[in-house]
Amino acid sequence: MNLAIQTDAFWDQSVDGYIASAEPFTGLFCKDAVGLADIAPGMTLLDIATGPGALALAAARAGATVTAIDFSQAMIDRLRERAADSPITALRMNGEALDLPPDSYDRVCSVFGVPLFPDWRAGLAEMARVLKPAGRAVLGVAANPFGFGPNVLLARARSEVLPDHRAEIDIAAMEILCDAGRLQAEMEDAGFCDVTVHQRQHDFIMPFDLMATDHPMILQNPLVSALPPRDRDQVIARALEMASSLRQGDIISLPGVAHLAVASKR
């Protein structure tokens, strides 16, 4: 059974919240990925799990002709609005089984999307399949098994409140790919070669109100959503205390580190 965060319904209802609270942070890694992709004007680029399109928009500004896919129709609709006259084709599509021909893109990128796929290894293999033999792929993953922002606070709070229950997000790829060595090995198994892993760090600056105990993005977070109500409420309350100690006016700033793996096709 898939977690809520692995469903299109979750992301369909999260577009505005994601753009407001997460994209200012994730978009920085998207710009890093575009830089590592080494785009020349006229190249074709596929952005997998594009969300509202931060990477697609940055790649288009760098001169690429972009195909951007996501399984959330609401995300695709929003990207189409934002793309305006940009050379971006936004399509609803499953990243685990791309309806695209092999060897068709000069660059293939995905930042923080593939690790959330239920069949993430299929997602990696699809990245390799559609990449041209002389092309370059860039994959972004969190450098810890929990992710960023609220997840960091919820993981710490869960470890304190429930010390006998290991804090985990129950998403296998995040547990595996947060390790640079395992990330490299998994990409090689998927059909990539010459894999190099780069680290980048940016601050996740989020509104304090995001940690409200009744915020849907907190209640549906996989670190707490499966807990019994009493345990869940205690963990969220402790996370809110932590957030309060870090509060600067109406915001909280948390450092976030990601791996950006750059590879060629084997």
Query: What percent of the chain lies above the pLDDT cut of 70?
Result: 99
Answer for the pair 245, 208: CB distance below 8 angstroms, yes or no: no
Bridge partners (DSSP) of residue 90 are 68
Residue 186 CB partners (closer than 8 Å, separation 6+):
121, 124, 176, 177
For the cut 90, the answer to whether the pLDDT of residue 182 exceeds it is yes
Q: What is the rounded CA–CA span in Å between residue 53 and residue 66?
A: 10
Structure tokens at 173: 């790829």
Residues in the chain: 266
Bridge partners (DSSP) of residue 264 are 193
For the cut 80, the answer to whether the pLDDT of residue 210 exceeds it is no
Cα–Cα–Cα angle for 200, 115, 184, rounded to 5 degrees? 60
What interhelical angle do 180-190 and 120-130 show, nearest 10?
A: 60
> Taking all residues of the chain, what is their mean pLDDT, rounded to a whole number?
94
pLDDT in tens, 110-137: 999 999 999 999 999 999 999 999 999 9
Does residue 11 sit in helix, strand or coil? helix
Burial label, 166 (beta-carbon count in 10 A; 0-12, 13-18, 19+):
exposed
Which fold is adopted by the domain 4-144+169-201+255-265? Rossmann fold (3.40.50)
Query: How many Å from the N-terminal Cα to the C-terminal Cα in the chain?
Result: 33
Q: What is the rounded CA–CA span in Å between residue 74 and residue 15?
A: 7
Q: In this predicted structure, what is the pLDDT of residue 209?
A: 81
For the cut 80, the answer to whether the pLDDT of residue 216 exceeds it is no
Higher pLDDT residue, 160 or 218?
160
Its sign, for the CA torsion 71, 77, 78, 83, is positive
For the cut 80, the answer to whether the pLDDT of residue 205 exceeds it is yes
pLDDT in tens, 43-86: 999 999 999 999 999 999 999 999 999 999 999 999 999 998 89
Domain residue ranges in the chain: 4-144+169-201+255-265
For the cut 70, the answer to whether the pLDDT of residue 213 exceeds it is no
Q: In this predicted structure, what is the pLDDT of residue 183?
A: 98
On the CB side of 222, CA atoms within 13 Å amount to 19
Q: In this predicted structure, what is the pLDDT of residue 220?
A: 79
Please give the average per-residue pLDDT across 29-33, as a whole number.
Answer: 98
For the cut 70, the answer to whether the pLDDT of residue 14 exceeds it is yes
Q: Which residue has the tokens 């940009």?
A: 86
